[in-house]
Amino acid sequence: MPQSTPESTAELVERLLSRSAKTATSSVIRDLLQHANRPDVISLAGGIPAPELFPLERLANAATSAISELGAEATQYGLTEGVTELRELLAAEASVEAPVTPSQVVVTTGSQQAIDLIGRVLIDEGDTIVTDDPA
d(CA 74, CA 63): 9
- Summarize pLDDT for 9-57 with one digit per residue, the tens: 888 888 888 888 888 887 777 777 777 778 887 766 666 777 889 999 9
Entry field: residues in the chain: 135
The pLDDT assigned to 50 comes to: 79
pLDDT of residue 9: 84
Q: What are phi and psi of 128, to 5 degrees?
A: -90, 130
pTM of the model: 0.55
What per-residue confidence (pLDDT) applies to 62? 96
Q: 65-100: per-residue pLDDT in tens?
A: 999 999 999 999 888 899 999 999 999 999 998 999
CB 93 within 8 A of CB 108: no
- pLDDT band, residue 63 (cuts 50/70/90): very high
Q: What is the pLDDT of residues 96-126, one digit of tens each?
A: 989 999 999 999 988 889 999 999 999 998 9
pLDDT at 132: 85
Domain regions of the chain by residue span: 27-76, 78-127
